[in-house]
Structure 1
Amino acid sequence: MAKEIDPITLQVIGGALHAIAEQMGNVLYRMSYSSIIRESQDLGAGLFDLDYNTLCESDSTPMHIGSIPGYLHGIEKNIPKTDWKPGDVVIHNHPYYGASHSPDIGIVMPIFYHGELVGFSANTAHHLDIGAATPGLIIDVPDVFAEGMLLNGLKLYEAGKRNETLWRYISGNTRVPGLVMRDLEAQIAAAELGVKLYCELMDTYGRDTVEQASKQLMDYSEHMLRREIAKIPDGDYTAEGFMDDDGRTRDVRLPIKVTVRVRGDDVEVDLTGSSPQVPTAFNVPFEGSTKVACYFAFRALLLDTYTNQEYIPQNEGSFRPVKVTAPLGSIFNPIPPAACEARFNQIQRVVDLIIKALAPVLPDKCTAGNAACLSFASYSGVRETGDYWVLIEVNEAAMGGRPNSDGPDTIEELMRNTRNNPLEDLGMHLPMICDRYEIRDDVFPGAGKYRGGMGVVKSQRFLTPGFMTHESDRNEDAPWGIFGGQDGIPARVRIHNAARAEEPRDVYAKFSGMRAELGDVVSYLSPCGGGFGNPLERDPAKVLDDLLDEFITPEHALEVYGVVLAPVSNGYKWGLDLPATEALRATMRAA
């Protein structure tokens, strides 16, 4: 039996592992060329042991790093461990062999220490275009083969020598090779750094010590999650919602049902009752996305970094107590060759519904309904030179009210964790301009003791004819209020032509390959979060702040919050009438 590592050394090695993953992620996004990686940081990086357990992960998009063990298991079907050589680089993105979805290309390098395979350095990043049916993003396609290049565990480098045929194949099958190939080079550099730093860590402490520390750290994270799960009363907890449509068959809702079964220190997320798989790409890869969403939900709810005094490493241990069930042939476990690229809105809703299901027994940890969707927009066109330009951006939304504070406004909530794309970057490189980018002002946030967050509105205008694909949802199902809070506001997508002074018209949340003319403006208005707690318990001063911020009107403050506001002449326009507020609230409570 291996010797137990003392707590101080354990902490030092744990910190070193996390620092390696962070440095890998930093190299990847700083060296990349496409804005979706370079600015939005739509990526993940980390180290993995011989059993494909996550040893550490970068603080980036949770979806990416949690999926890499699935990539490694998928790669093993083509490359057994005995076939790895020092200097190998494997590329992989097949959604039915563990990948999160096809645009998320994984790069994996083996780690050899003194001639022996000891683990893997790996990362994933969302690539701008992989030659799919429509530029950048896809929704309405018939099968997985229409998603573009499927790279199933292929050696891009073998023993340090690049496979030029494969390199040329990838370069020749993307609309933007100048960006995609440079992004791949950044991924390779990040993986190489992971190999180097992990070997240096073993040089410092010894292989046996590092491997034993890694096992103890994983066991510790598992113990910490099990400890928190055990505090939840045993039972079955259910929540339901729906998606707008599948991107083709309009106005046909897709049910989402989540049942959380808690038994002792184990938990199962059962998605039975959710929609059957659909004939478009609006399905979810089970290994690379569905399971990862459920792992994330419990780590976020129960092991939040800022609400736990103990240091809890981000590793495989936090996955072990969580079982995930989804019937084969359902939207969360499709049967190949069903397309499954447009999967993020669905897993956002799974996380939100897990929170909703557990809210009655975890009232101090849950939020009201979050936006729990994704506005993933792809803009594209062809330059006069005949070259494509492609932009992918992720638009912010909002969180629901929380046990002790309002929901954050205009934020990448839940599983997204990406950064917004600077407008200057858009203007410098692409024939588009942003006409509007601000907090939504056409609706009120979900009212509550702690209100829901305000959504964002972004309007992008084409300066040349082009194309657009928009992957989104939640135009119909508003974020839920909780404990007396009111529901939030659903999303909207609007289009008009600025040159023709048209009135904006509402369109469906998702559409594929829409032709855009010069002057077309596409506006996305994201959901606003639901409210937490009775609005009549909201601090009147916070209601006044919302009025001064122009989030609400005096009439809304009076009718919903029972707060009486009076005009004043101190430069703030409005002030509180507290005696009248107390009297009105007493009357409203009695009613």
Structure 2
Amino acid sequence: MTALDPAGVSLAGTAPQDFTTVEVDPITLRVIGGALNSIAKEMAQILYRMAYSSLIRESEDLGAGIFDSNGRELCESDSTPMHCGSIPAYIRGINRKLAGTYQPGDVILHNHPYHGAAHSPDYGIMIPIFHGDRHIGFAGCTGHVSDIGGNFPGLCMDVVDVWAEGKLMDSAKIYDAGVRNDALIQHILDNVRTPEQNAGDLEALIACARLGEKRFTDLLDRYGVDVVLSAADRWMDYSEDMLRRKIREIPEGEYEAPVSYLDDDGKNRGVPLKVAVKVKVADGDITVDLTGSNDQVPTAFNVPFEGSVLPTVASAVRTLLLDEALTEEFVPQNDGCFRPAKAYAPEGSLFNPDFPASCFARFSQINRIFDSINLALADVLPHRAVAGSSAALCAIAYSGLAPDGQSYWVYIEINEGSYGARNGKDGLDCVDTLMANTRNNPIEELELNHGMLAERYELRDEPPAPGQYRGGIGSVRKWKMLTDTFIGSEADNRTDPPKGLAGGHNGLPGAFTRNQGTNREEPLYSKVTQEMCAAGDTLEIKLPSGGGYGDPFRRQAAVVLEDVLDDFVSVSDARQHYGVVIDEATMTVDEEATSQRRAQQLAG
């Protein structure tokens, strides 16, 4: 990648000049805005309903939307922010090779992480949209497929470079002017371990983009190119203006997050990786500077800058400042929300690796960026920031040779962590956090199709992080393997636990344990490459619990009692951490003893 402007790089594209700007009345503006949102949502529904792999079909690990010819986002689906936010970079990646060659009927497949892709398992399908003989834009979508070949099934950690990750497709036309390239598609499927799943996912991605193409073309036919694109411009400018207004409410300056550390790189054990985040606020822009973060590593644990870092920064800024629960006005998600969000990471660092370093496993790192941006701004956004979240997406691939001996079964699972508390609300329990936004996979789906049995899936036993508002509780899942099974993981246990805020306590780290509770109990690292779990072995996965917010002794006594009755905290915990004394005979709050206990704490 070329050197980056130290002032930061923005995700926004350049406005195309191939239409005439016209005035659009407010009613038509609203109608077109609603149509754009509906198109993106319908595209996503087609994709997850048609997909074969559980990661797209059940977890909804996907993104979809409509984009102009330069990659500016006009609308996006309500799915994973990483997938949606990276599609403009995919388009810039394919434009560098194909701009000027597009024809009606083209379908482009792309997954190159050094040319815009979020990471190589995220197949991107782009279909150029034409109105008459004019190339107007793209219908685009992405989804995480089960396997792309490479060294190991499903997920890879300890690999030498980007080619070892799997099959790279750099702006490949799988349809050229409507003619399907069957030989190329077959070549792609012949080089993966899950050809049937990948074939189904590929067709679902194509159908998703084709629907977007049709719906947007219908919109252009109805209102005209100039009106639709002028309305889209108005919506993008409006979103930008609304976000910049919020940014200008923050005092200008530099805000630094507490330095945090990722467990390791999946190979060099016991060597934590530094994450340093500084947020600079100036003139309506927010720039996230990652200088001081770890150098790139010799495994897959690096992060594509354009396809992963930039969307994370944009999503964090939008989420913090235009929280829908705290914002009365409707603000659509589009290119306007990207414009004020900028990022800088030195070349050769964890967050801007030099080609051809592998950057397959990048999600725990970008979640940590998001978490750190939030913590850096906590003092100036006390009613919007949350305490530290799990910020460690736990993706695990289970795999083995299929009964036919000709392919593999591969199952990729995303486990749920939790949010930190915020001023006024407890943290959310057992939910994907920050950049993920994926759903949990039903255990029945896995048990039906693979040799695994769920022995446990629930909230962790340990109490949540104390605070006036308690931290969220992570999940614990325990699988029993009914057949020899390989596992690969790109998780992070958060050896430095999620931070508490304003007097709240820190959260809890996660853990992987093989054969927990037996004489063969063995802790595993959070990142593993083709670890074997033999038939009869169990694997327990605990996800981090989020931090608390505010002084625990200010938590309402009645709410603490509810936590006790819900088995979240014990009677002893209530007394020690919250100063709430509970009469165990009646299971009620002893008001007098509680007042005395809390008064002693405040006096001490």
Instruction: Name the TM-score class by shorter chain.
Output: over 0.9
1:389-438, CA deviations, whole angstroms, 9 ceiling, x for partnerless residues? 11001000100011111001001111111010011111111111111100
| Equivalences, count | 583
Deviation at 1:497, TM superposition (A): 7.6
1:249-286, CA deviations, whole angstroms, 9 ceiling, x for partnerless residues? 00111110000000131111000000000000000000
Corresponding letter in the other structure for 1:436: R
Q: Structure 2 residue aligned with 1:352, among 337, 362, 371?
A: 371
The question of 1:509 aligning with 2:503 is answered: no
Tell me the equivalent position of 1:582: 595
Q: Structure 2 residue aligned with 1:103, among 105, 109, 121?
A: 121
- Whole-angstrom CA distance in 1 between matches of 2:554 and 2:23: 52
Tell me the equivalent position of 2:7: none
Corresponding letter in the other structure for 1:551: F
- Whole-angstrom CA distance in 2 between matches of 1:377 and 1:218: 37
Q: Structure 2 residue aligned with 1:363, among 358, 382, 385?
A: 382
Tell me the equivalent position of 2:253: 235
- Whole-angstrom CA distance in 2 between matches of 1:555 and 1:503: 32
Q: Structure 1 residue aligned with 2:466, among 438, 447, 453?
A: 447
1:315-345, CA deviations, whole angstroms, 9 ceiling, x for partnerless residues? 0000001110000000000000000010000
DSSP-derived class of the 1:108 partner? strand
- Whole-angstrom CA distance in 2 between matches of 1:392 and 1:78: 32
Tell me the equivalent position of 1:561: 578
The question of 1:201 aligning with 2:219 is answered: yes
Tell me the equivalent position of 2:398: 379
Q: Report percent identity of matched pairs.
A: 49
Tell me the equivalent position of 2:36: 17
- Whole-angstrom CA distance in 1 between matches of 2:198 and 2:516: 32
Q: Structure 2 residue aligned with 1:174, among 192, 205, 213?
A: 192
Contact kept, 8 Å, 1:497 with 1:519, in 2: the verdict is no
Contact kept, 8 Å, 2:516 with 2:522, in 1: the verdict is no
Deviation at 1:547, TM superposition (A): 1.0
1:221-255, CA deviations, whole angstroms, 9 ceiling, x for partnerless residues? 00011000000001100012111100000011111
Q: Structure 1 residue aligned with 2:87, among 68, 72, 79?
A: 68
DSSP-derived class of the 2:453 partner? strand
Tell me the equivalent position of 2:416: 396
Corresponding letter in the other structure for 1:38: R
Q: Structure 1 residue aligned with 2:243, among 225, 233, 241?
A: 225
TM-score (norm 1): 0.97
- Whole-angstrom CA distance in 1 between matches of 2:254 and 2:103: 48
Q: How does 1:294-443 map to 2 (within 5 A)?
A: 294-386=313-405, 387-441=407-461, 443=462
Deviation at 1:66, TM superposition (A): 0.3
DSSP-derived class of the 1:100 partner? coil
- Whole-angstrom CA distance in 2 between matches of 1:99 and 1:211: 26
Q: Structure 2 residue aligned with 1:183, among 201, 204, 209?
A: 201
Contact kept, 8 Å, 1:144 with 1:340, in 2: the verdict is yes
Structure 2: segments with no counterpart, 5+ residues? 1-19
Contact kept, 8 Å, 2:419 with 2:431, in 1: the verdict is yes
Structure 1: segments with no counterpart, 5+ residues? none
The question of 1:536 aligning with 2:553 is answered: yes
DSSP-derived class of the 1:436 partner? strand
The question of 1:548 aligning with 2:565 is answered: yes
Deviation at 1:473, TM superposition (A): 0.7
DSSP-derived class of the 2:439 partner? coil
The question of 1:151 aligning with 2:169 is answered: yes
1:433-468, CA deviations, whole angstroms, 9 ceiling, x for partnerless residues? 111100000x22111000000110001121111200
Please provide the CA RMSD for this pair: 1.1
- Whole-angstrom CA distance in 2 between matches of 1:310 and 1:16: 18
The question of 1:44 aligning with 2:63 is answered: yes
The question of 1:493 aligning with 2:493 is answered: no
- Whole-angstrom CA distance in 2 between matches of 1:458 and 1:440: 9
Contact kept, 8 Å, 2:382 with 2:423, in 1: the verdict is yes
Contact kept, 8 Å, 1:497 with 1:520, in 2: the verdict is no
Deviation at 1:305, TM superposition (A): 2.0
- Whole-angstrom CA distance in 1 between matches of 2:425 and 2:111: 40
Deviation at 1:503, TM superposition (A): 4.6
TM-score (norm 2): 0.95
- Whole-angstrom CA distance in 1 between matches of 2:26 and 2:48: 33
Q: Which moved more, 1:258-267 or 1:40-49?
A: 258-267
